[in-house]
Amino acid sequence: MQAIIDQITATLRIAAERGQPLHIQGGGSKAFYGHPRAESAESLDITPYQGIVNYEPTELVITARAGTRLSEIESVLREHGQMLAFEPPHFASTATLGGCVAAGLSGPRRAAAGAVRDFVLGVRMLDGTGRDLHFGGQVMKNVAGYDVSRLMAGSMGTLGVLLEVSLKVLPLPAAEKTIGLEMNTAQAIKQMNQWAGKPLPITATCHVDGQLYIRLSGAETAIRTAQTQLGGESRSDGDTFWQSLREQTHPFFEPAASLWRLSVKSTAPEYHLPGKQLMEWNGALRWLTCQNDKDNQHSDSAAHVIREAATAAGGHATLFRGQHHTIPVFHPLTPALLSLHRRLKQQFDPAGILNPGRLYPEF
Protein backbone atom coordinates (compact mmCIF):
# COMPACT_ATOMS: atom_id res chain seq x y z
CA MET A 1 0.00 0.00 0.00
CA GLN A 2 2.92 2.36 0.71
CA ALA A 3 3.93 1.95 -2.92
CA ILE A 4 0.56 3.39 -3.98
CA ILE A 5 1.03 6.37 -1.68
CA ASP A 6 4.54 6.91 -2.99
CA GLN A 7 3.20 6.89 -6.52
CA ILE A 8 0.39 9.36 -5.74
CA THR A 9 2.87 11.58 -3.91
CA ALA A 10 5.22 11.56 -6.88
CA THR A 11 2.34 12.40 -9.25
CA LEU A 12 1.34 15.29 -7.00
CA ARG A 13 4.87 16.66 -6.78
CA ILE A 14 5.40 16.58 -10.52
CA ALA A 15 1.97 18.05 -11.20
CA ALA A 16 2.56 20.82 -8.68
CA GLU A 17 5.85 21.68 -10.34
CA ARG A 18 4.32 21.79 -13.79
CA GLY A 19 1.03 23.32 -12.75
CA GLN A 20 -0.74 20.29 -14.24
CA PRO A 21 -4.35 20.05 -12.97
CA LEU A 22 -5.41 16.68 -11.61
CA HIS A 23 -8.80 15.09 -11.30
CA ILE A 24 -9.04 12.93 -8.21
CA GLN A 25 -10.81 9.82 -9.39
CA GLY A 26 -12.93 7.89 -6.94
CA GLY A 27 -15.58 5.48 -8.13
CA GLY A 28 -17.03 7.96 -10.61
CA SER A 29 -20.42 7.58 -8.99
CA LYS A 30 -20.91 11.29 -8.43
CA ALA A 31 -19.39 12.45 -11.69
CA PHE A 32 -22.60 14.31 -12.49
CA TYR A 33 -22.24 16.31 -9.28
CA GLY A 34 -20.35 19.57 -9.19
CA HIS A 35 -18.68 21.35 -12.03
CA PRO A 36 -17.23 19.01 -14.66
CA ARG A 37 -13.57 18.22 -14.46
CA ALA A 38 -11.20 20.69 -16.08
CA GLU A 39 -10.50 19.68 -19.67
CA SER A 40 -6.76 19.70 -19.17
CA ALA A 41 -7.01 17.63 -15.97
CA GLU A 42 -5.25 14.30 -15.77
CA SER A 43 -6.84 11.57 -13.70
CA LEU A 44 -5.38 10.63 -10.37
CA ASP A 45 -6.88 7.24 -9.61
CA ILE A 46 -7.31 6.70 -5.89
CA THR A 47 -9.28 3.45 -6.08
CA PRO A 48 -6.28 1.10 -5.71
CA TYR A 49 -5.70 2.54 -2.25
CA GLN A 50 -8.45 0.57 -0.64
CA GLY A 51 -9.26 -1.64 2.34
CA ILE A 52 -10.41 -1.33 5.90
CA VAL A 53 -7.48 -0.41 8.16
CA ASN A 54 -9.08 -0.78 11.55
CA TYR A 55 -12.54 -1.49 12.86
CA GLU A 56 -13.39 -1.90 16.49
CA PRO A 57 -17.12 -2.10 17.04
CA THR A 58 -16.90 -1.36 20.77
CA GLU A 59 -14.87 1.79 20.13
CA LEU A 60 -17.53 2.92 17.60
CA VAL A 61 -14.84 3.77 15.04
CA ILE A 62 -13.94 2.51 11.61
CA THR A 63 -10.86 3.59 9.66
CA ALA A 64 -10.61 2.77 5.97
CA ARG A 65 -8.62 3.77 2.93
CA ALA A 66 -10.25 6.30 0.66
CA GLY A 67 -10.59 3.92 -2.29
CA THR A 68 -12.60 1.41 -0.25
CA ARG A 69 -16.07 0.89 -1.63
CA LEU A 70 -18.83 2.26 0.55
CA SER A 71 -20.74 -0.96 0.00
CA GLU A 72 -17.89 -2.96 1.54
CA ILE A 73 -17.76 -0.69 4.58
CA GLU A 74 -21.49 -0.79 5.11
CA SER A 75 -21.69 -4.55 4.84
CA VAL A 76 -18.89 -5.05 7.37
CA LEU A 77 -20.64 -2.67 9.74
CA ARG A 78 -23.95 -4.45 9.28
CA GLU A 79 -22.36 -7.75 10.29
CA HIS A 80 -21.59 -6.13 13.63
CA GLY A 81 -24.99 -4.49 14.00
CA GLN A 82 -23.66 -1.04 13.16
CA MET A 83 -24.08 1.57 10.44
CA LEU A 84 -22.95 4.85 8.91
CA ALA A 85 -25.73 6.83 10.52
CA PHE A 86 -25.64 9.63 7.93
CA GLU A 87 -26.83 7.14 5.29
CA PRO A 88 -24.63 8.37 2.45
CA PRO A 89 -26.04 8.00 -1.03
CA HIS A 90 -23.97 5.66 -3.20
CA PHE A 91 -25.46 6.49 -6.61
CA ALA A 92 -23.51 3.50 -7.99
CA SER A 93 -21.92 0.34 -6.64
CA THR A 94 -18.51 1.89 -7.32
CA ALA A 95 -18.92 4.70 -4.75
CA THR A 96 -15.84 5.09 -2.56
CA LEU A 97 -15.29 6.34 0.97
CA GLY A 98 -13.07 9.17 -0.32
CA GLY A 99 -15.74 10.32 -2.74
CA CYS A 100 -18.41 10.07 -0.05
CA VAL A 101 -16.49 12.34 2.28
CA ALA A 102 -15.28 14.69 -0.48
CA ALA A 103 -18.81 15.12 -1.84
CA GLY A 104 -20.17 15.53 1.69
CA LEU A 105 -23.62 14.14 0.90
CA SER A 106 -25.89 12.59 3.50
CA GLY A 107 -29.16 10.69 3.26
CA PRO A 108 -32.58 10.49 4.95
CA ARG A 109 -31.30 10.05 8.52
CA ARG A 110 -29.34 13.29 8.35
CA ALA A 111 -31.82 15.52 10.21
CA ALA A 112 -31.95 13.08 13.12
CA ALA A 113 -28.40 11.74 13.23
CA GLY A 114 -26.13 14.27 11.56
CA ALA A 115 -24.20 14.65 8.30
CA VAL A 116 -20.94 13.09 7.04
CA ARG A 117 -18.98 15.93 8.63
CA ASP A 118 -20.51 15.12 12.01
CA PHE A 119 -19.07 11.61 11.88
CA VAL A 120 -15.60 12.38 10.53
CA LEU A 121 -13.11 11.86 13.37
CA GLY A 122 -9.86 12.05 11.49
CA VAL A 123 -8.17 11.93 8.10
CA ARG A 124 -4.88 11.09 6.52
CA MET A 125 -4.39 13.10 3.36
CA LEU A 126 -1.91 14.42 0.84
CA ASP A 127 -2.01 18.13 0.18
CA GLY A 128 -1.37 19.71 -3.20
CA THR A 129 2.37 19.53 -2.68
CA GLY A 130 2.32 15.86 -1.74
CA ARG A 131 2.81 16.29 1.99
CA ASP A 132 1.47 13.34 4.01
CA LEU A 133 -0.72 14.79 6.77
CA HIS A 134 -2.79 13.42 9.67
CA PHE A 135 -5.52 15.42 11.33
CA GLY A 136 -7.93 14.41 14.08
CA GLY A 137 -7.69 10.76 15.02
CA GLN A 138 -9.68 7.72 16.03
CA VAL A 139 -11.17 9.10 19.20
CA MET A 140 -14.57 10.72 19.74
CA LYS A 141 -13.33 13.97 21.19
CA ASN A 142 -10.31 15.81 19.96
CA VAL A 143 -9.73 19.55 19.91
CA ALA A 144 -5.98 19.63 19.31
CA GLY A 145 -5.39 21.96 16.36
CA TYR A 146 -7.94 23.29 13.88
CA ASP A 147 -10.56 20.83 12.72
CA VAL A 148 -9.05 20.15 9.29
CA SER A 149 -10.65 16.71 9.02
CA ARG A 150 -14.20 18.04 9.05
CA LEU A 151 -13.12 20.78 6.65
CA MET A 152 -12.39 18.03 4.11
CA ALA A 153 -16.02 16.91 4.12
CA GLY A 154 -17.73 18.47 1.13
CA SER A 155 -14.58 20.15 -0.20
CA MET A 156 -14.89 18.08 -3.42
CA GLY A 157 -11.25 17.13 -3.42
CA THR A 158 -10.08 20.73 -3.83
CA LEU A 159 -7.99 20.80 -0.64
CA GLY A 160 -6.28 17.44 -0.65
CA VAL A 161 -6.29 13.81 -1.66
CA LEU A 162 -7.90 11.82 1.10
CA LEU A 163 -5.97 8.65 1.87
CA GLU A 164 -7.68 7.35 5.01
CA VAL A 165 -10.71 8.43 6.94
CA SER A 166 -11.86 7.52 10.46
CA LEU A 167 -15.60 7.68 11.04
CA LYS A 168 -17.76 7.35 14.10
CA VAL A 169 -20.28 4.55 13.64
CA LEU A 170 -23.53 3.86 15.48
CA PRO A 171 -25.60 0.80 16.33
CA LEU A 172 -28.38 -0.17 13.97
CA PRO A 173 -31.77 0.52 15.54
CA ALA A 174 -33.48 -2.49 17.08
CA ALA A 175 -36.48 -1.95 14.86
CA GLU A 176 -37.80 0.47 12.25
CA LYS A 177 -41.25 1.23 10.96
CA THR A 178 -42.59 3.59 8.34
CA ILE A 179 -45.95 5.25 8.44
CA GLY A 180 -47.70 7.37 5.82
CA LEU A 181 -50.11 10.25 6.30
CA GLU A 182 -51.98 12.16 3.66
CA MET A 183 -51.48 15.92 3.73
CA ASN A 184 -50.54 18.86 1.56
CA THR A 185 -47.16 20.60 1.52
CA ALA A 186 -48.00 23.43 3.91
CA GLN A 187 -49.50 21.04 6.47
CA ALA A 188 -46.51 18.72 6.12
CA ILE A 189 -44.01 21.52 6.80
CA LYS A 190 -45.83 22.45 9.98
CA GLN A 191 -46.38 18.86 11.10
CA MET A 192 -42.77 17.71 10.55
CA ASN A 193 -41.41 20.66 12.51
CA GLN A 194 -43.87 20.24 15.35
CA TRP A 195 -43.04 16.56 15.72
CA ALA A 196 -39.32 17.26 15.53
CA GLY A 197 -39.75 19.36 18.66
CA LYS A 198 -41.31 16.46 20.57
CA PRO A 199 -39.44 13.53 22.11
CA LEU A 200 -40.43 11.09 19.37
CA PRO A 201 -38.22 8.41 17.79
CA ILE A 202 -38.47 9.92 14.29
CA THR A 203 -35.37 9.26 12.15
CA ALA A 204 -36.51 10.29 8.68
CA THR A 205 -39.26 12.30 7.04
CA CYS A 206 -40.28 12.85 3.44
CA HIS A 207 -43.18 14.55 1.75
CA VAL A 208 -43.96 13.70 -1.85
CA ASP A 209 -47.14 13.39 -3.92
CA GLY A 210 -49.38 14.46 -1.06
CA GLN A 211 -48.02 11.80 1.32
CA LEU A 212 -45.94 12.41 4.42
CA TYR A 213 -43.68 9.46 5.19
CA ILE A 214 -42.29 9.11 8.70
CA ARG A 215 -39.71 6.56 9.80
CA LEU A 216 -39.64 5.56 13.46
CA SER A 217 -36.61 3.75 14.90
CA GLY A 218 -35.71 2.16 18.22
CA ALA A 219 -37.25 -0.28 20.66
CA GLU A 220 -40.42 -2.02 19.40
CA THR A 221 -42.42 -0.71 22.33
CA ALA A 222 -41.31 2.87 21.72
CA ILE A 223 -42.24 2.65 18.04
CA ARG A 224 -45.68 1.25 18.87
CA THR A 225 -46.43 4.07 21.31
CA ALA A 226 -45.20 6.70 18.87
CA GLN A 227 -47.33 5.30 16.11
CA THR A 228 -50.44 5.55 18.28
CA GLN A 229 -49.52 9.16 18.89
CA LEU A 230 -48.87 10.08 15.25
CA GLY A 231 -51.64 8.07 13.61
CA GLY A 232 -51.36 7.29 9.90
CA GLU A 233 -51.07 4.00 8.05
CA SER A 234 -48.27 1.49 8.49
CA ARG A 235 -46.38 0.97 5.27
CA SER A 236 -44.86 -2.33 4.30
CA ASP A 237 -42.58 -0.75 1.68
CA GLY A 238 -40.70 1.41 4.19
CA ASP A 239 -37.16 0.12 3.64
CA THR A 240 -37.50 0.23 -0.15
CA PHE A 241 -38.93 3.72 0.03
CA TRP A 242 -36.07 5.22 2.09
CA GLN A 243 -33.54 3.39 -0.05
CA SER A 244 -35.10 4.86 -3.20
CA LEU A 245 -34.90 8.30 -1.66
CA ARG A 246 -31.32 7.88 -0.57
CA GLU A 247 -30.21 6.62 -3.98
CA GLN A 248 -32.58 8.88 -5.92
CA THR A 249 -34.19 5.94 -7.68
CA HIS A 250 -37.65 7.04 -6.53
CA PRO A 251 -39.80 8.00 -9.56
CA PHE A 252 -39.62 11.62 -8.47
CA PHE A 253 -35.94 11.62 -9.45
CA GLU A 254 -36.36 10.12 -12.91
CA PRO A 255 -34.00 11.79 -15.36
CA ALA A 256 -35.06 15.36 -15.85
CA ALA A 257 -33.81 18.53 -17.40
CA SER A 258 -32.65 19.71 -14.03
CA LEU A 259 -32.73 18.80 -10.38
CA TRP A 260 -32.29 21.55 -7.82
CA ARG A 261 -31.40 20.91 -4.20
CA LEU A 262 -32.57 23.65 -1.83
CA SER A 263 -31.13 23.42 1.65
CA VAL A 264 -33.17 25.87 3.73
CA LYS A 265 -34.54 26.63 7.16
CA SER A 266 -36.89 23.75 7.96
CA THR A 267 -39.86 26.04 8.52
CA ALA A 268 -39.46 27.91 5.21
CA PRO A 269 -42.94 28.22 3.66
CA GLU A 270 -44.00 26.19 0.67
CA TYR A 271 -42.26 27.22 -2.56
CA HIS A 272 -44.45 28.13 -5.47
CA LEU A 273 -41.90 27.42 -8.15
CA PRO A 274 -42.39 25.63 -11.46
CA GLY A 275 -41.73 21.88 -11.44
CA LYS A 276 -42.31 19.08 -8.90
CA GLN A 277 -41.14 19.20 -5.30
CA LEU A 278 -40.10 16.69 -2.67
CA MET A 279 -39.18 17.50 0.93
CA GLU A 280 -36.91 15.70 3.37
CA TRP A 281 -35.21 16.44 6.68
CA ASN A 282 -38.28 17.93 8.39
CA GLY A 283 -38.53 20.47 5.59
CA ALA A 284 -34.86 21.52 5.65
CA LEU A 285 -34.19 19.85 2.28
CA ARG A 286 -36.34 20.57 -0.76
CA TRP A 287 -35.81 18.99 -4.13
CA LEU A 288 -37.15 20.67 -7.21
CA THR A 289 -37.25 18.96 -10.57
CA CYS A 290 -38.76 19.44 -13.99
CA GLN A 291 -39.18 16.73 -16.59
CA ASN A 292 -38.49 18.96 -19.55
CA ASP A 293 -37.38 22.46 -20.14
CA LYS A 294 -40.88 23.87 -20.40
CA ASP A 295 -40.55 24.95 -16.77
CA ASN A 296 -37.52 26.80 -17.98
CA GLN A 297 -35.51 26.11 -14.85
CA HIS A 298 -32.42 26.19 -16.95
CA SER A 299 -32.58 29.84 -17.72
CA ASP A 300 -30.33 32.16 -15.80
CA SER A 301 -33.31 34.11 -14.54
CA ALA A 302 -35.05 30.97 -13.24
CA ALA A 303 -31.85 29.98 -11.47
CA HIS A 304 -31.72 33.42 -9.97
CA VAL A 305 -35.28 33.11 -8.64
CA ILE A 306 -34.53 29.71 -7.10
CA ARG A 307 -31.35 30.96 -5.47
CA GLU A 308 -33.07 34.05 -4.10
CA ALA A 309 -35.76 31.85 -2.58
CA ALA A 310 -33.17 29.68 -0.87
CA THR A 311 -31.20 32.68 0.38
CA ALA A 312 -34.36 34.25 1.79
CA ALA A 313 -34.88 31.08 3.83
CA GLY A 314 -31.38 31.22 5.31
CA GLY A 315 -30.03 28.56 2.96
CA HIS A 316 -28.56 27.84 -0.45
CA ALA A 317 -29.42 26.08 -3.71
CA THR A 318 -27.36 23.60 -5.73
CA LEU A 319 -28.00 22.61 -9.31
CA PHE A 320 -27.67 18.97 -8.36
CA ARG A 321 -28.23 17.40 -11.77
CA GLY A 322 -28.45 18.91 -15.21
CA GLN A 323 -25.30 21.00 -15.46
CA HIS A 324 -25.59 24.06 -17.61
CA HIS A 325 -22.62 26.14 -18.61
CA THR A 326 -23.94 29.54 -17.57
CA ILE A 327 -25.36 28.47 -14.21
CA PRO A 328 -22.95 27.86 -11.34
CA VAL A 329 -23.59 24.45 -9.74
CA PHE A 330 -23.01 25.63 -6.18
CA HIS A 331 -24.58 28.68 -4.61
CA PRO A 332 -22.35 31.70 -5.24
CA LEU A 333 -20.39 32.84 -2.19
CA THR A 334 -20.28 36.37 -0.87
CA PRO A 335 -17.09 38.21 -1.89
CA ALA A 336 -15.73 37.99 1.68
CA LEU A 337 -16.26 34.22 1.85
CA LEU A 338 -14.99 33.62 -1.65
CA SER A 339 -11.72 35.35 -0.92
CA LEU A 340 -11.38 33.35 2.29
CA HIS A 341 -11.94 30.14 0.29
CA ARG A 342 -9.20 31.15 -2.11
CA ARG A 343 -6.77 31.93 0.70
CA LEU A 344 -7.45 28.53 2.27
CA LYS A 345 -7.07 26.79 -1.09
CA GLN A 346 -3.74 28.58 -1.52
CA GLN A 347 -2.51 27.08 1.77
CA PHE A 348 -3.46 23.50 0.93
CA ASP A 349 -2.81 23.53 -2.79
CA PRO A 350 -0.58 26.46 -3.75
CA ALA A 351 -0.22 25.32 -7.35
CA GLY A 352 -4.00 24.97 -7.74
CA ILE A 353 -3.80 21.48 -9.21
CA LEU A 354 -6.40 19.58 -7.16
CA ASN A 355 -9.80 19.32 -8.85
CA PRO A 356 -9.63 22.93 -10.04
CA GLY A 357 -13.03 24.45 -10.71
CA ARG A 358 -14.89 21.40 -9.40
CA LEU A 359 -16.42 23.38 -6.53
CA TYR A 360 -16.20 26.98 -7.76
CA PRO A 361 -14.88 28.23 -11.07
CA GLU A 362 -12.65 30.70 -9.22
CA PHE A 363 -10.34 28.04 -7.71
The residues that touch ligand FAD, with contacts defined as CB under 6 A, are: 23-31, 34, 36-37, 46, 66, 95-96, 98-99, 102-103, 156-157, 161-162, 355, 358
The only residue of 214, 318, 319, 353 in contact with another protein, by rule CB under 8 A: 318
Choose, by CB under 8 A, the member of 114, 180, 232, 269 that binds another protein.
Answer: 114
CA gap 171, 54 in Å, rounded: 17
Rounded Cα–Cα distance for residues 82 and 280 (Å): 23
CB of 53 to another protein, least distance (A): 12
Phi, psi (rounded to 5 degrees) for 251: -50, -30
Nearest approach in angstroms of CB 8 to another protein is 16
Nearer to ligand FAD, 28 or 269 (CB): 28
Complex with another protein: residue 271 or 295, whichever CB lies closer: 271
DSSP structural state of residue 145 = S
Instruction: List beta partners, residue 216.
Output: 177, 202
Spell out a b/e string for 147-157, using b for 16 or more CB atoms within 10 Å of the CB, else e: ebbbbbbbbbb
C-alpha span between 260 and 361 (Å, rounded)? 19
171 binds another protein (CB under 8 A): yes
Size of the site for another protein (CB under 8 A): 88
In the complex, what is the shortest distance from the CB of residue 12 to ligand FAD, in angstroms, rounded to a whole number? 11
Picked from another protein, ligand FAD, none, the partner binding residue 308 (CB below 5 to 8 A depending on kind) is: none
Which of 4, 170, 181, 230 touches another protein by CB under 8 A? 170
> Alpha carbon of 87 to those of 60, 200, 271: distances in Å?
16, 20, 27
Tell me which DSSP letter residue 294 carries: G
The conformation of residue 259, written as its DSSP 8-state character, comes to: E
276 binds another protein (CB under 8 A): no
- The least CB distance from residue 93 to ligand FAD, in Å, is 11
Q: CB of 286: closest distance to another protein in angstroms? A: 10
Q: How far apart are CA 218 and CA 283, in angstroms?
A: 22
